Amino acid sequence: MKKILRFSTIWLFLGVFLFSPTVMAADTIPVGVPIPMTGWAAGSGADYFKGIKMAIDEINESGGLLGKQLEIIRFDSKGFEPEVVMQAADYLCGQKNVASVHAGWAGWGQDVRAYGKYDAPFFADDGSQAAVDIFKEDPAKYYNIYQTTDVGVEQAKSMFRALMALPYEYPNKKVVIINTDDSWGLEVGDTLEKSFKANGWKVSKRETVPYGINEWGVILSQIRRIKPALIHVEIPSGQENITFIQQFLKKPSNAIISLGWGITPREVVDALGESADGIVGEMPSGLPGPKAPNEKAQAWVDKFVGLYEHQVPAGAWIAYTAVKAWAHAVTQVGDAYDFKAVNAYIKENGYEGELGRIKWDQDNVLRAQSGAPVVHYQVQGGELQPIFTDPPLTPYQGSQFLTPPWIK
Amino acid sequence: MFSEDTILLFYEITDVIIAGLSTGSVYALMAVGMTLVYGVTKAFNFAYGDFFNMGGYFAWILIVGLGLEFGGYPVILLIVMPLLFAVGYGLEKLLVAPLRKRKDWENKVMMMTLGLALFLTSLYMVVFGVRMKSLPPILEGTLEVGQLVFSYQDIMIFVMSISGILIFAWMLNNTRIGMAVRAVAQNPVGATIVGIPKERIFATTFAISTVMVGFGGILLSQKWFINPNSGGIIMVKAWVVTALGGMGSIRGGLYAAFIIGMLEAFVGWMFGMSYGIIALFVLLLATLVLRPQGLRGKGE
Amino acid sequence: MLSVNKLNAYYGEAQVLHNVSVSVDRGQVVVMLGPNGHGKSTLLKAICGLAESVDGEISYQGQPIDHLSTDKLVNMGVAYIAENRELFPYMTVQDNLKLGAYVKAARPHEKKNMAQVFSLFPRLKERRTQLASTMSGGEAKMLAVARGLMSNADFLCIDEPSLGLQPSLRMELFSTIKEINSQGKTILLVEQNIPHIADLADKVYVMEEGRISFEGNSKEALGDKHLKEIFLGM
Amino acid sequence: MRLKHMIAIIGVCYGIMAVLPIFVGDIRFVMNIMIMCLIWAVVASCWDLMMGFAGIFSFGQVAFFVMGAYCSGILAIEHSVPPVLAILMAGLFTAVMGVLVGLPCLKLAGPYIALVTFGVHMALQPVLRGKIGIAIGSGGSVGLLTIPPVSIFGHAFSSANMVPTFYLTLLLSLSCVLVIMFTIKSYWGVAFLALKDSQDFAMSLGISAFKYKLMVFALTSFLTGIIGAYYGHFYGVLSYRMLDLDLFSILMVMMLVGGLGHFPGSVFGAFLVVAGSELMAPLGAYRAVTMGALVVILVLALPNGVMGLFIGRRKRLSAG
């Protein structure tokens, strides 16, 4: 009996611990940030957080939102296991009653279900058609879900347009496509394959690889035999891209190399430095830099670089902008918790960002647009330099494409 | 007499074989420490892969963190390897030895090291950040034989890992401590009877294996970079190699390492890289069903 | 030289030895007789620091040695030669012997002892490069004893060396043991029964159900009818 | 531990669980945690039955869990099988898989079993993600996003209406746990303990190690499959990411906290750990560090987990 008593006391403690309602300081507005702090996605998570943090600090420095300070509430969304995603939503929206949620990668569709149960605006960068399809099931229910980048399919099409527009004479029409075996990699890989075929190219090799491949000898030897004019690698992670490039450069073949999104993780240019010169890639919803198109943008870039001592990585700027867009809507509506109105305003008016107005489409997807373009980069002098913005596909002011040094 | 395509194909196959060999040598280096510990102490170490990264991080601290230029990698190894030895020895005494007295301690050690792995991985993330770290290459440049390309880096890795293993094997067979280690592996009771201090040998073995895998970590981090998350997969690779070779059998481990290296290279070449891991486990399962002891049972 | 005083030993819950007292003087061959599983081996293990839980006093050359680890004991010159040999199966005879001389005290004498051992067991010399696992029962026994000698010990605890050997080999073994003893080693020998014990033993103990049931020199032992029938095989 | 103690502890655990909704029924977040507690309790107990009692060092539990979840999900989506039926079929499927995995394993020694079962775990991810998976409708790398909720007599149990769903989960979880308890207390349990203590002795009593170990594979994977399937229907989404090592280690921690081989321990452990790790959420990246350290300390300091505090010294001697 004593045991059982001891037992139940432990239990009651736990119970009390759990449902003790969390007291929210009345003078702050909580903002949820479910971003991986551990696990395989922690790297990209860090980049998104930099943008979000910057925005919220700005707002707080300028007197807060409706006179109240914003308070960041983080949640480690680990590896996006279903119950973790669900848990994040219920913790932030249900428990902490946050006024909005700002994420990066967030679960490729699971997140739509999890946050659709609530009304607080939720900004994610899933970049996947699957997430959009879920939204389409019930737009009324999921009206508070916003995608801050275009889907993989569209990004891939943009990549293709850029690659075709390069001021460079392809010696042949053979392409090799390498992509990861997750939804992003496949979505982009498939789209590229289609587009290339449709334009009379031969996809000489299509390799789908798991994460964590660091030995490229086999593929590279095949590439040497194929002698493609173009190699596209779509791996949203630093390590694989770097090892690929390093091993490719040991005996390069005359091919343009495009890393797609994979060029944006900072470690790629950090590790490769000048040896990466000539490689091209893209950043969705990006702010061209280091030389920005206008002072407003330039000021932003300078501030970011000042804060974090490196150029702007993928996601940082758009995550920043999403916070600002939400904050703007709130100030217009005048109540952070009038979710209906806030969402309506965001959907209706979008936001006037550094590059002009951005607007979400009927699927709440921030399609590639002049206000938040897909930026195509080339590594020049060991740093990313914008060469195109899309849409519409226009060469970036004062930029020029350099033929990669390894091409003879 | 040969069409150009056949010649290119020949080169390609040679490339695949080379890739297989270099991966094999790496796996050998990874596996040898693990099989040693299992053979001698019967303890299974799940944190093995994180010791691999530990080697890398120590080197990184010296080279990048402290900006040590003097002497390059030889000096780094000279500093890091004793450090790893100390860490291994300490951890064994502190964490593994106490468990050894308990009932079904093998399982308890497995779980403890699993926790240790979780701890180290996340600790790396907290301390060194979630981004991977890179080390300067040992050697630059490539050696070209006709169509074939050998990077000096790869040659270096191959040579150093193989010689590392050979030195280790030599010590095992020809030094007093080495003989003691083998004695404990073959017959712990007998070892005690002749007055070999078993506990010290256990700790030493654990430390040696830490040094071996840490050495591998340094060697490969300058090609693959240091990734705080990679510990788990490295451990599994080493595990598969050891199991296939027969846990406790160093020679078996060597065979297995190169077999697997080749398998991965050829499967990747013929069917695509994503089939590597499946092929790996199919091979493993088949082997274990036919030979529950692995390729070469019992430690020699 | 060795004295065991009021020794109790336990195996798990069960008590195996009930305050056993034994004393061995320098240069003696002491034989401990007794039926199987009555605690003889446990006593040897206890002396050599291999038993699980023990209380009581054991002293070697005047100083207490209970709670000393085996390697320390070997270093002090106490060698244990196990009933089931405990050789290193995948090592050559030579390496087995080398390891016999692992402890510091033995290392300087390795050469000398090796020679001595080979002169005692010429057969081992022939088999020098053979793996221990490939040796016949008798040879393995010899190797076990030889390995014990390699540790340069003055005091040998030998556990049923003759178990499972055919008579001729047994006699040979016992004579070798006698020879070893004549070279100045003190020996505590455990056996189930020994023929012609008088030639070998200076002192005889009998252990039954974990208690010493008889103590005396070989004459007295031969005098005792009960013993004669059961243990002395005549 | 005696049967009445087991019943008492299980009773207290589930009893308190059963009354909590009265206070927290309207707090989704907490309800979610409690449902997770109930689900993981079953998985942890199955694993405990496998490792702690049968002494099979299997690492396949999470794999079986995911298999069950996907199987049921696919049946419900692709072949529109009613969820309840789908769950049962999933259970049977995983049971078969369990036996198939078990067969080669039982010849092997500890770490080899661990490796083979873990191999299943490792290989499952590329399979689900790859062409094979897509062919059978695993949704490839996107996963399953449209799994219908369990509905009984037209009443749907989903995360939309928490309280009834909670009680359904409670019922399911409790019955699974009871099955495990009675298995342990049955002749089986005795047989397992005998096998664990001395393989040969047990054999001499005519206990066939092979038969019993195969049975335990079947039973545990069946229950794990069932609860996994239920998990899928509850959350409505599935992703192969469950196979990352995170969940795996957390389950291991649950077992250790509870005390390996000290059944209801793992139930209690699951409750403690799920709740604890949610309380540690503010720690962010340090949560994983703490978890890891916790395992190490637990194995060293508390070999019998929380249960160690309840059982007497002599017992601990023999078990520890």
Query: What is the pLDDT of chain B when averaged over all its residues?
Result: 88
Between A and D, how many CB-CB pairs are < 8 A?
Answer: 137
Confidence band for B249, pLDDT divided at 50, 70 and 90: confident
Per-residue pLDDT, D256: 83
Measure D111 CA to nearest chain B CA, in Å: 7
Residue in chain A closest to D284 (alpha carbons) equals: A76
Question: Which pair of structure tokens corresponds to residue D228?
Answer: 């996994």
Residue A398, classed as helix, strand or coil, is coil
Dihedral class, residue D91 (left if φ above 0, else alpha if ψ from -120 to 50, else beta): alpha
| Chain B partners within 8 Å of D110 (Cβ) | 44, 106-107
**Per-residue model confidence as pLDDT tens digits over D154-199:** 888 887 788 999 999 999 999 999 999 998 888 777 777 777 777 6
Structure tokens at A395: 């060469």
Which of the four pLDDT bands, split at 50, 70 and 90, describes residue A15? low
SS3 B291: coil
C-alpha pair distances (Å), B192 with each of B181, C86, C88: 12, 10, 12
Give how far Cα C234 sits from Cα of A383, B159, C29, C189, Å: 99, 70, 21, 20
Query: Inter-axis angle of helices B4-41 and B198-224, to 10 degrees?
Result: 150
Q: What pLDDT was estimated at residue B47? A: 92
Write the DSSP string, A293-345. Answer: SSHHHHHHHHHHHHHHSSPPPTTHHHHHHHHHHHHHHHHHHT-TT-HHHHHHH
Pick the CATH number of B4-138+149-290 from 1.10.3470, 1.10.10, 2.70.98, 2.30.29: 1.10.3470
pLDDT tier at B218, thresholds 50, 70, 90: very high
pLDDT tier at C99 (50, 70, 90 boundaries)? very high
Per-residue pLDDT tens digits for D57-74? 888 999 999 999 999 999
Q: Under CATH, which architecture does the A153-285+374-395 domain have?
A: 3-Layer(aba) Sandwich (3.40)
Residue in D76, D242, D238 with CA at minimum distance from that of residue D142: D238
Nearest 5°: the CA angle A258, A259, A263 is 130
The better pLDDT of the pair A240, A7 is held by: A240
Residue with tokens 């008798």: C138
Statement: residue B289 has pLDDT above 50: yes
| Residue B1 banded pLDDT, cuts 50, 70, 90 | low
Higher-confidence residue: D33 or A12? Answer: D33
Residue A249 has pLDDT above 80, yes or no: yes
| pLDDT at residue A3 is higher than 70 | no
pLDDT at D119 (0 to 100)? 86
Closest by Cβ to A95, choosing from D27, D130, D238 = D27
What does the pLDDT read at residue C231?
64
CA dist list (Å): D48 to D43, D117, D181, D259: 9, 15, 11, 9
pLDDT in tens, C164-217: 788 888 888 888 889 999 988 999 999 887 777 777 888 999 888 889 988 888
Asked if B265 reaches chain D (Cβ–Cβ under 8 Å), the answer is no
Instruction: Calculate mean pLDDT across residues A150-167.
Output: 94
Task: Assess whether pLDDT exceeds 90 at residue C225.
Answer: no
Say if residues D113 and D57 touch (Cβ distance below 8 Å). Answer: yes
pLDDT of residue A13: 54
Please give the pLDDT value at position C30: 93
Assess if residue D48 is contained within a domain. yes
User: Can you give the residue range of the structural domain that contains D145?
Assistant: 3-242
The string of DSSP letters for D33-92 reads HHHHHHHHHHHHHHHHIIIIIS------HHHHHHHHHHHHHHHHHHS---HHHHHHHHHH
Closest CA to A288 of A400, A367, A387, A383: A387
Determine if the peptide bond prior to A290 is cis (ω within 30°): yes
Tell me the average pLDDT of chain C: 87
Confidence at residue C232, expressed as pLDDT on a 0 to 100 scale? 59
Q: Which of A172-176, A393-397, D246-250 has the lowest mean pLDDT?
A: D246-250
Contact C99 B179 (CB under 8 A): yes
Structure tokens at C106: 């033995």
What is the residue extent of each domain of chain B?
A: 4-138+149-290
Domain pair A25-147+312-358 / A153-285+374-395, same fold: yes
Q: Please say whether the beta carbons of C204 and C214 come within 8 A.
A: yes
Which of A121-125, B180-184, C94-98, C193-197 is predicted with the least confidence, judged by mean pLDDT? Answer: C193-197
Rounded to an integer, the average pLDDT of D76-97 is 94
Letter for the amino acid at C120?
L
- Judging contacts by C-beta atoms under 8 Å, the chain D residues touching residue B112 are 295-296, 299-300
pLDDT of B57? 96
Q: Give the whole-angstrom CA distance, residue A53 versus residue A30.
A: 13
Q: What percent of chain B has a predicted confidence (pLDDT) above 70?
A: 98
What's the pLDDT band for D294 if we cut at 50, 70, 90? confident
Is D82 touching B (CB cutoff 8 A)? Answer: no
The answer to whether residue D70 is domain-embedded is yes
Cα separation, A55 vs D195, in Å, equals: 63
Question: Nearest CA of chain A to the CA of B117: how many Å?
Answer: 13
- Chain B residues with CB under 8 Å of A40 CB are 229
Inform me whether the pLDDT recorded for D314 exceeds 80. Answer: no
Percent of chain A surpassing pLDDT 90: 70
Which comes out higher in pLDDT, residue D32 or A241? A241
Instruction: Please tell me what DSSP assigns to residue C92.
Output: B
Half-sphere exposure of D245 (CA within 13 A, CB side): 23
Residue B28 has pLDDT above 70, yes or no: yes
Which residue among B107, B115, B126 sits closest to D295, beta carbon to beta carbon? B115
Q: How far apart are CA C222 and CA C191, in angstroms?
A: 16
ipTM here:
0.86
Give domain status of residue D298, yes or no: no
Instruction: Label residue B94 by pLDDT band (50, 70, 90).
Output: very high
Q: Locate the domains of chain A by residue range.
A: 25-147+312-358, 153-285+374-395
Tell whether A171 lies on the interface with B, counting CB pairs under 8 A. Answer: no
Is residue C16 helix, strand or coil?
strand
**Does residue A72 sit at the D interface (CB-CB below 8 Å)?**
no
* Confidence band for C221, pLDDT divided at 50, 70 and 90: confident
How many domains would you assign to chain D? Answer: 1
Instruction: Give residue-wise pLDDT tens across range A43-101.
Output: 889 999 999 999 999 999 999 999 999 999 999 888 888 888 988 998 899 888 999 99
Verify A-C touch: 3 or more CB pairs within 8 A: no
With bands split at pLDDT 50, 70 and 90, how would you rate the model's confidence at A4?
low
Integer Cα distance of A105 and B272 in angstroms: 28
**Looking at chain D, which subunits does it touch, using at least 3 CB pairs closer than 8 Å as the criterion?**
A, B
Buried b (16+ CB within 10 A) or exposed e, B235-268: bbbbbbbbbbbbbbbbebbbbbbbbbbbbbbbbb
Neighbours of A200 (CB within 10 A): 7
Contacting A residues, span 8-37, partner chain D, CB-CB under 8 Å: 8, 11-12, 14-15, 17-19, 21, 37
Kindly state the percentage of chain A with pLDDT values over 70.
94
Q: Is the pLDDT of residue A12 over 60?
A: no
Q: Which of the two residues, A399 and D284, has the higher pLDDT score?
A: A399
pLDDT digit string, tens, across residues A261-302: 999 998 899 889 899 999 999 999 999 988 999 999 999 999
Which residues, in sequence order, are CB contacts of A369 under 8 Å at separation 6+? A358, A359, A391
Burial state string for D276-285 with b = 16 or more CB within 10 A and e = fewer than 16 = bbbebbeeeb
Cis preceding-peptide flag for A392 (omega within 30 of 0): yes
pLDDT digits (tens, 9 = 90+) for C106-157: 899 999 999 999 998 988 999 989 999 898 888 888 899 999 999 888 999 9
Q: Which of A210-214, B48-52, D258-262, D313-317 has the highest mean pLDDT?
A: B48-52
- pLDDT of the residue at A238: 87
Q: What is the pLDDT of residues D113-158, one digit of tens each?
A: 888 898 888 888 888 887 788 888 888 878 888 889 998 888 888 8
Would the CB atoms of B193 and C50 count as touching at under 8 Å?
yes
> What's the pLDDT at A40?
83
Q: Which of D14, D43, D237 to mutate to test the interface with A (most CBs of A within 10 A)?
A: D237
Q: Distance of alpha carbon B55 from its chain centroid, rounded?
A: 11
**DSSP-derived pairing of the beta strands C29-33 and C186-191:** parallel
Architecture, CATH, for domain A25-147+312-358: 3-Layer(aba) Sandwich (3.40)
Q: Does residue A23 surpass a pLDDT of 50?
A: no
